[in-house]
């Protein structure tokens, strides 16, 4: 527009200046500001309307096309100097949108004059033909006008073909003779004929087919240079003296956009691609699709085999392997859009071509196996570098499906090796996609380290990494069905919901803002950060164009459902958190329900000043309101409360409907039937009642369950209701009985249920960490339902959503992850996973004094001994009989250890002979949780500190309590001196040192600073000669003279060495000679520090002390799920998302680190020297 009409340029610049935030506006407002308003002003200057021709709407994503059409329809009503012609193949979706408007008309290719109808459209087409063929005789123009019959697509192609033709008269005669028949087919044939040079040979025709093959078989527009690259055997070919690809692309300019060798070639008309694909074998322009895909696949694989294994230049960087995405690569940035475009295409789409060429030759099979064995991880790394992980995953899925199909058909050229590689590669990428999208180079280290040793990927690439892969010493059995981990939050992901067409979904976590996701790309479209508090409820509108949310900041927000941009922040009208929000009345109304107070109806009419909040009138709940659901037609909403009632509200009148429906207990869940005649309520006491909407009387009552009913979901046909408490049941609400026997498969309560749109599938998510997919297609009433299980989550499932077709499942979990499952590629047969979960939840780890034994303790009171050097279990799982372990500790001997418990018990375990089972001894005395246990230097005594504010001294030999020391404070740690004379106890407020023999306090209690962060780990240690004591608390590191009970060296705010937000608190350690104190990677020389006089600052660091350093440089940052070495700035390993290390314990010694996980596993990793 600005190129052809100079007036419009100044109008456009002015509009951009007036709308500085144009990119943040919704699409329709952008369209109005940048297109229609400018065109209207320009047309007035020209004294003639501007006509916009928008072609190939069916090539757009369905939502994009709908968005564009809706925007145009909204604009043409008010614009008199602008016209739009929309050209597209007829699709059901577009016809539905377009035929709703009386001003839309079209025939065949759906040529549409949005405002003026068929007559004006035909007139516009004739104007176009006369303009384009103005140098042709008038009679030729009239022939073309008559043949076009008002179809702009035909007219445009014909005009372009005639202008390019070397024999235009002959072309006109051919068009005229063929016009009544094939129309576009004959036109395309004429276009192709005119592209061939005069006296062309069969070889020239073959080269034209090659160009057509490359352009039409490509999955995305490719450049001339790319076509040349895919057919290297033709690299020197020329036609009519020109390079053959450039010549034919130029001559086919009427059907494809020709340009420079490095710009994409766009097919201008989707019907041309269909014409080429429909050519039969033996036809003049037959392109042999299977052979074409085979040629492109082989060329792509050859290009991939030349990829550099170090695209990020890791060997030149000062990190072992970066765990973040490198954004600034300068001149080394991989894969520009120019000469590297063929390689970019090969990385993204080779799998699609290979899947369609498997039957062509055995050679491709050998190429595939060789590629997987040598280049798979390099390909994964590069696909991450160019941001194409999602496309690569879909391509691998397609290849796997095709391999399986070919194998089942018994066709040659494929064996189980290719299929096993496809399965293993797909599992590897899906499991690690969260890490790979952050930094693909971690495929070599983080991902490979946690890949099962039996995996083809592990065996092929273990010794090919740029840097050595850490050794995982413990067994790691993969409990992971094929799916993608999309996000990892430090808190539970509470909710996930798909848009009505399944193309987008949103999610929110506890205390975290909303995320809007693209289903196809499996990537976030936008983080909805303008929110003022934690989200508690959100919903899509019926057409998916809007999202409403409410939560802890007591405010309702309205978002664009396509872009995630905030459209409106509603005025503050609630006085408590908003528990639920829904759309009603065809999305013109929002209903918001607070925890307490009035339910409010908001009428959405445009701008914020047009909002009309109305408080619902009628008898209100007397208790906290727990939920709100809308009827399927949007005319009613139902609220339910802990006052035992359900109340119906008529949205249009904003009034209560009928009487409250009172049940036997608090109402926790509910749903309308699909015909809006019934309401089904689930109660805290396990009862389910079906209420009649008209009479507000109960129709049926179910009492199969004994626990709270948290889930009630109606099937799409309205016949069934899924309900879950202690049992998972399906009820027939018409017959008033169980439709099937209680569903079995889940071992714990089901918290999330969703049906597919057809009702043929139901998906459930449980507290047992699994998802089940239930199939109704082969089940009759009274029969059991078939189901298959999906594993991968490490904690309970919070919520489940399913796309309308039932194929994709999104799951939100307490493990902090959001996951996407494609049920089309999951093996639904029996799964036989080995369970390597040791505890219900790994709470504590302790390392023996000789660093050869590791003790792990679970929240359930179980203990397991490990060989720290090999990762093997030593003996079986120990059952203490107690619950909730609070602390564990070794004595100087690895055959004696102790554990403290929440109930105040202390247990110690002994092994007399190496092959004997450990013997447990229980010590009873504390009245509060035991926070710390420790042994003296020779294992004679155990000291235990408890929340009862006492430290008890136990004699191991006779299990007696020999002393009880009153701390008068909550105790955080206890320590014995190496000479066995003294015992120190540290609380949050003071330090006390006791003489064990006399049970007397040495000096006065020493006041210590109380840390502001309660979760900070306190530690305390005597020097080897027992004359000094060091304590570490959040805000200070202090050194004390034991005999005088006085602090003589102090360092405040030691966060100057460690950022407490990202790195864990180090534990101070003395060197064996007592001269140095080590604190993380820092060392201090105390040999010359005087203990006399006033308190001094810590001495300078001692660089020469490293030979005495007993501290491992390895540590875990559980909030980031990363392992660091203190020798490197950046993390050296990312822990895969199927291992949840939130609040996980860890210990490290030299080159080895051990850590536990939330799901009860234990991992021991050994790193190579260069990381230390």
pLDDT exceeds cutoff 90 at 361? no
Which band of pLDDT confidence, cut at 50, 70 and 90, is reported for residue 1103? low
CA distance 621 to 660: 9
Q: In what order do the strands lie in the sheet with 667-672?
A: 667-672, 678-683, 688-692, 698-702
Would you give the distance in Å from CA 1136 to the centre of its chain? 13
What is the model's pLDDT at position 908? Answer: 95
Mean pLDDT along residues 844-849: 92
Contacts of residue 466, defined as CB under 8 A and 6 or more positions apart, other chains included, come to: 309, 310, 314, 315, 321, 444
CA distance 505 to 801: 9
CA distance 647 to 640: 6
Residue 219: DSSP 8-state: S
What is the model's pLDDT at position 577? Answer: 92
Q: How many residues does the chain have?
A: 1172
CA distance 521 to 637: 35
Task: At 254, list the tokens.
Answer: 């009427």
Q: Contact at 8 Å (CB) between 879 and 864?
A: no
What is the model's pLDDT at position 1108? Answer: 54
Q: Contact at 8 Å (CB) between 1116 and 1064?
A: yes
What is the model's pLDDT at position 827? Answer: 57
What is the model's pLDDT at position 260? Answer: 75
| Count of Cβ atoms closer than 10 Å to residue 1120 Cβ | 17
Which band of pLDDT confidence, cut at 50, 70 and 90, is reported for residue 718? confident
Which band of pLDDT confidence, cut at 50, 70 and 90, is reported for residue 96? low
Task: At 53, list the tokens.
Answer: 């021709």
Mean pLDDT, the chain, integer: 84
Nearest alpha carbon to residue 720 among 755, 668, 681, 746: 755
Taking CA atoms, 927 is separated from 376, 594, 891, 923, 1096, in Å, by 59, 42, 24, 12, 41
What is the model's pLDDT at position 578? Answer: 93
Instruction: Please classify residue 49 by burial: count the beta carbons closer than 10 Å to its beta carbon, then call 0-12 exposed, 13-18 middle and 19+ buried.
Output: middle
pLDDT exceeds cutoff 70 at 1055? no
HEC letters along 698-750: EEEEECCCCCCCCEEEECCCCCEEEEECCCEEEEECCCCEECCCCCCCCCCCE
Q: Which residues pair with 1148 in a beta bridge?
A: 1153
pLDDT exceeds cutoff 90 at 1048? no
What is the model's pLDDT at position 1141? Answer: 87
Residue 773: DSSP 8-state: E
What is the model's pLDDT at position 674? Answer: 87
Which band of pLDDT confidence, cut at 50, 70 and 90, is reported for residue 655? very high
User: Helix or strand or coil: residue 202?
Assistant: helix
Look-up: residue for tokens 């049970």?
999
What is the model's pLDDT at position 67? Answer: 78
Element (H, E) at 1019: strand 1019-1022
Computed over its alpha carbons, how large is the radius of gyration of the chain? Answer: 36
Mean pLDDT along residues 329-342: 56
Look-up: residue for tokens 């309660």?
1014
DSSP E strands in 776-836: the ranges are 786-790, 797-802, 808-813, 817-822
**Side-chain half-sphere CA neighbours of 684 within 13 A:** 11
For 757-809, what is each residue's pLDDT tens digit? 888 899 999 998 899 999 887 775 557 788 889 988 888 999 999 999 888 99
Phi-psi region of 871 (alpha: psi -120 to 50; beta: other; left: phi over 0): left
CA distance 261 to 338: 9
Look-up: residue for tokens 């007591």?
554
Buried/exposed code over 780-792 (b: 16+ C-beta within 10 A; e: otherwise): eeeeebebbbbbb
What is the model's pLDDT at position 198? Answer: 81
CA distance 1054 to 1060: 9
Between CA 257 and CA 265, with CA 263 as vertex, the angle to 5 degrees is 35
CA distance 512 to 529: 9
For 545-587, what is each residue's pLDDT tens digit? 899 999 888 999 999 898 888 888 998 899 899 999 999 988 8
For 900-951, what is each residue's pLDDT tens digit? 999 999 999 998 877 788 999 999 999 999 999 999 988 999 999 999 999 9
Select, from the ranges 23-27, 436-440, 698-702, 1007-1011, the one with the highest average predicted confidence (pLDDT): 698-702
Of 36-45, 176-185, 497-506, the range with the lowest mean pLDDT is 176-185
Taking CA atoms, 676 is separated from 671, 692, 717, 821, in Å, by 10, 9, 12, 32
Mean pLDDT along residues 292-299: 94
Following DSSP, what letter does each residue of 606-670 receive, concatenated? SSGGG-EEEEPBSPPPSS-EEEEEE-TTSSEEEEEETTSEEEEEETTTTEEEEEEEE-SS-EEEE
For 1069-1085, what is each residue's pLDDT tens digit? 887 777 788 776 677 77
CA distance 428 to 446: 12
Task: At 745, list the tokens.
Answer: 């498969």
Mean pLDDT along residues 670-681: 93
Q: Which residues pair with 1096 in a beta bridge?
A: 1049
What is the model's pLDDT at position 1139? Answer: 85
Mean pLDDT along residues 252-267: 82
CA distance 663 to 626: 15
What is the model's pLDDT at position 115? Answer: 60
What is the model's pLDDT at position 338? Answer: 64
| Count of Cβ atoms closer than 10 Å to residue 362 Cβ | 11
pLDDT exceeds cutoff 70 at 510? yes
The pair phi, psi for residue 175, each rounded to 5°, is: -65, -40
Put simply, whether the predicted model's pTM sits higher than 0.85 gets the answer no
Q: Contact at 8 Å (CB) between 1159 and 814?
A: no
Following DSSP, what letter does each residue of 104-147 receive, concatenated? ----TTT-EETTTHHHHHHHHHHHHHHHHTTTS-HHHHHHHHHH
CA distance 1148 to 851: 9
pLDDT exceeds cutoff 70 at 251? yes
Task: At 406, list the tokens.
Answer: 């070919």
Nearest alpha carbon to residue 79 among 122, 123, 32, 126: 32
DSSP E strands in 77-232: the ranges are 82-86, 112-113
Which band of pLDDT confidence, cut at 50, 70 and 90, is reported for residue 534? confident
Mean pLDDT along residues 62-87: 76
What is the model's pLDDT at position 666? Answer: 95
What is the model's pLDDT at position 120? Answer: 66
CA distance 479 to 770: 11
Q: In what order do the strands lie in the sheet with 50-54?
A: 50-54, 82-86, 112-113
pLDDT exceeds cutoff 90 at 833? no
Q: Which residues pair with 923 in a beta bridge?
A: 906
Q: Where are the alpha helices (DSSP H) in 866-913?
A: none
Nearest alpha carbon to residue 691 among 642, 657, 726: 657
What is the model's pLDDT at position 312? Answer: 62
pLDDT exceeds cutoff 50 at 244? yes
What is the model's pLDDT at position 174? Answer: 79
What is the model's pLDDT at position 988? Answer: 78
More reliable by pLDDT, 816 or 208 = 208
Between CA 702 and CA 711, with CA 708 as vertex, the angle to 5 degrees is 80
What is the model's pLDDT at position 75? Answer: 78
Q: Contact at 8 Å (CB) between 818 and 795?
A: no
Taking CA atoms, 105 is separated from 145, 151, 1057, in Å, by 19, 12, 73
User: Helix or strand or coil: residue 573?
Assistant: coil
Nearest alpha carbon to residue 741 among 733, 749, 750, 732: 732
DSSP E strands in 167-318: the ranges are 238-239, 242-243
| Count of Cβ atoms closer than 10 Å to residue 1012 Cβ | 8
DSSP E strands in 197-282: the ranges are 238-239, 242-243
Task: At 115, list the tokens.
Answer: 């405002």
Task: At 718, list the tokens.
Answer: 């309205």
Of 74-78, 840-844, 1139-1143, the range with the lowest mean pLDDT is 74-78
pLDDT exceeds cutoff 60 at 1016? no
Task: At 861, list the tokens.
Answer: 């009171």
More reliable by pLDDT, 187 or 673 = 673
What is the model's pLDDT at position 45? Answer: 81
pLDDT exceeds cutoff 50 at 332? no
The share of the chain scoring above pLDDT 70, in percent, equals: 87
What is the model's pLDDT at position 314? Answer: 63
What is the model's pLDDT at position 213? Answer: 94
The share of the chain scoring above pLDDT 90, in percent, equals: 37
Task: At 992, list the tokens.
Answer: 């006390």
């Amino acid at each position: 527009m600005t190129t052809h009409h100079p007036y419009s340029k100044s109008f456009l610049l002015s509009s951009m200046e007036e709308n500085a935030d144009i990119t943040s506006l919704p699409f329709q407002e952008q369209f109005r500001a940048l297109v229609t308003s400018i065109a209207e002003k320009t047309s007035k200057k020209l004294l003639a309307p501007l006509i916009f021709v928008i072609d190939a709407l069916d090539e757009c994503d369905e939502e994009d096309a709908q968005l564009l059409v809706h925007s145009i329809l909204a604009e043409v009503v008010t614009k008199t100097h602008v016209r739009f012609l929309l050209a597209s193949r007829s699709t059901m979706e577009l016809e539905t949108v377009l035929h709703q408007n009386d001003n839309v008309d079209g025939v065949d290719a759906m040529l549409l004059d949005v405002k003026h109808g068929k007559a004006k459209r035909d007139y516009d087409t004739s104007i176009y033909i006369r303009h384009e063929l103005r140098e042709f005789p008038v009679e030729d123009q009239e022939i073309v006008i008559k043949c076009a019959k008002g179809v702009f697509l035909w007219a445009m192609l014909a005009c372009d073909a005639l202008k390019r033709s070397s024999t235009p008269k002959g072309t006109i005669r051919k068009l005229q003779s063929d016009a009544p028949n094939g129309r576009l087919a004959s036109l395309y044939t004429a276009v192709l004929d005119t592209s061939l040079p005069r006296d062309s040979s069969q070889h020239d025709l073959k080269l034209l087919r090659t160009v057509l093959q490359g352009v039409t078989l490509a999955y995305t527009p490719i450049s001339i240079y790319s076509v040349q690259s895919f057919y290297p055997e033709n690299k020197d070919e020329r036609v009519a003296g020109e390079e053959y690809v450039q010549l034919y692309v130029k001559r086919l300019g009427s059907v494809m956009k020709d340009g420079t060798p490095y710009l994409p070639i766009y097919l201008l008309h989707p019907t041309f691609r269909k014409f080429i694909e429909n050519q039969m074998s033996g036809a003049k322009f037959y392109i042999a699709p299977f052979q074409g895909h085979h040629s492109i696949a082989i060329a792509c694989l050859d290009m991939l085999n030349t990829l550099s294994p170090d695209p990020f230049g890791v060997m030149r960087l000062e990190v072992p392997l970066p765990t973040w995405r490198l954004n600034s690569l300068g001149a080394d940035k991989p894969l520009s859009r120019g000469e590297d475009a063929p390689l970019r295409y090969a990385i993204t789409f080779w799998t699609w071509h290979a899947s369609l060429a498997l039957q062509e030759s055995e050679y491709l099979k050998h190429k595939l196996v060789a590629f997987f064995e040598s280049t798979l991880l390099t390909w994964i790394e590069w696909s991450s570098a160019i941001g194409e992980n999602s496309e690569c995953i879909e391509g691998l899925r397609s290849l796997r499906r095709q391999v399986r199909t070919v194998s089942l058909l018994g066709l040659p050229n494929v064996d189980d090796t290719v299929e096993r590689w496809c399965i293993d590669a797909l599992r590897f990428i899906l499991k690690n996609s969260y890490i790979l999208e952050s930094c693909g180079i971690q495929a070599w280290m983080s991902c490979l380290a946690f890949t099962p040793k039996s995996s083809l990927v592990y065996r092929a690439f273990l010794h090919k990494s740029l840097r050595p892969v850490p050794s995982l010493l413990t067994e790691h059995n993969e409990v992971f069905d094929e799916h993608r981990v999309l996000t990892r939050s430090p808190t539970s992901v509470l909710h996930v919901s798909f848009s009505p067409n399944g193309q987008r979904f949103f999610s929110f976590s506890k205390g975290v803002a909303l995320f809007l996701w693209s289903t196809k790309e499996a990537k976030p479209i936008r983080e909805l950060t303008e929110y003022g508090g934690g989200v508690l409820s959100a919903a899509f509108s019926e057409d998916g164009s809007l999202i409403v949310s409410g939560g802890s900041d007591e405010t309702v927000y309205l978002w664009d459902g396509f872009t995630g941009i905030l459209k409106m922040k509603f005025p503050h009208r609630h006085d408590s958190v908003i528990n639920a929000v829904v759309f009603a009345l065809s999305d013109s109304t929002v209903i918001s329900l607070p925890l307490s107070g009035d339910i409010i109806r908001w009428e959405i009419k445009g701008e914020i000043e047009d909002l009309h909040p109305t408080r619902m009138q009628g008898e209100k709940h007397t208790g906290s309101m727990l939920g709100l659901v809308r009827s399927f037609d949007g005319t009613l909403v139902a609220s339910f409360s802990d006052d035992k009632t359900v109340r119906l509200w008529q949205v249009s009148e904003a009034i209560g409907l009928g009487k409250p429906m009172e049940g036997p207990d608090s109402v926790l869940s509910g749903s309308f039937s699909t015909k809006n005649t019934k309401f089904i309520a689930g109660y805290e006491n396990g009862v389910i009642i079906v209420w009649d909407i008209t009479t507000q009387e109960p129709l049926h009552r179910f009492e199969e369950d004994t626990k709270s009913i948290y889930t009630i979901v109606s099937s799409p046909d309205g016949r069934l209701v899924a309900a879950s408490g202690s049992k998972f049941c399906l009820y027939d609400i018409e017959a008033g009985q169980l439709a099937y026997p209680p569903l079995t498969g889940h071992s714990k309560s089901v918290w999330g249920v969703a049906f597919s749109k057809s009702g043929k599938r139901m998906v459930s998510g449980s507290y047992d960490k699994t998802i089940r997919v239930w199939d109704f297609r082969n089940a009759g009433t009274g029969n059991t339902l078939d189901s298959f299980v999906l594993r991968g989550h490490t904690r309970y499932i919070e919520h489940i959503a399913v796309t309308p077709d039932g194929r994709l499942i999104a799951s939100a979990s307490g493990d902090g992850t959001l996951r996407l499952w494609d049920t089309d590629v999951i093996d639904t047969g029996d799964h036989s996973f080995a369970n390597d979960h040791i505890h219900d939840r790994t709470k504590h780890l302790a390392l023996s004094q000789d660093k050869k034994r590791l003790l792990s303790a679970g929240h359930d009171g179980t203990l397991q001994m490990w060989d720290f050097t090999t990762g093997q279990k030593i003996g079986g799982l120990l059952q203490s009989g107690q619950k909730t372990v609070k602390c564990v500790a070794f004595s100087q001997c690895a055959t004696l250890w102790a554990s403290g418990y929440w109930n105040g018990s202390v247990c110690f375990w002994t092994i007399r002979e190496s092959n004997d089972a450990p013997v447990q001894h229980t010590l009873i005395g504390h009245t509060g949780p035991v926070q710390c246990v420790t042994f003296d230097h020779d294992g004679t005594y155990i000291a235990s500190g408890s929340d009862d504010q006492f430290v008890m001294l136990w004699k191991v030999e006779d299990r007696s309590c020999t002393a009880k020391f009153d701390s008068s404070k909550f105790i955080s740690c206890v320590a014995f001196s190496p000479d066995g004379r003294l015992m120190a106890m540290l609380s949050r407020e003071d330090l006390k040192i006791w003489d064990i023999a006399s049970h007397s306090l040495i000096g006065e209690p020493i006041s210590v600073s109380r840390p502001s962060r309660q979760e900070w780990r306190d530690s305390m240690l005597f020097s080897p000669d027992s004359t000094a004591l060091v304590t570490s608390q959040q805000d200070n590191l202090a050194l004390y003279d034991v005999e005088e009970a006085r602090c003589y060296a102090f360092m405040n705010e030691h966060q100057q060495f460690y950022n407490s937000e990202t790195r864990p608190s180090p534990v101070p350690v003395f060197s064996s000679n007592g001269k140095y104190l080590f604190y993380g990677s820092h060392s201090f020389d105390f040999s010359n520090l005087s203990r006399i006089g006033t308190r001094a600052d810590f001495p300078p660091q001692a660089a020469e002390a490293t030979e005495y350093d007993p501290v491992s440089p390895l540590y875990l940052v559980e909030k980031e799920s990363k392992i660091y070495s203190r020798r490197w700035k950046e993390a050296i390993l990312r822990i895969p998302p199927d291992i949840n290390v939130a609040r996980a314990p860890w210990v490290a010694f030299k080159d080895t680190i051990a850590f536990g996980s939330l799901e009860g596993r234990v991992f021991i990793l050994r790193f190579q020297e260069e990381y230390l």
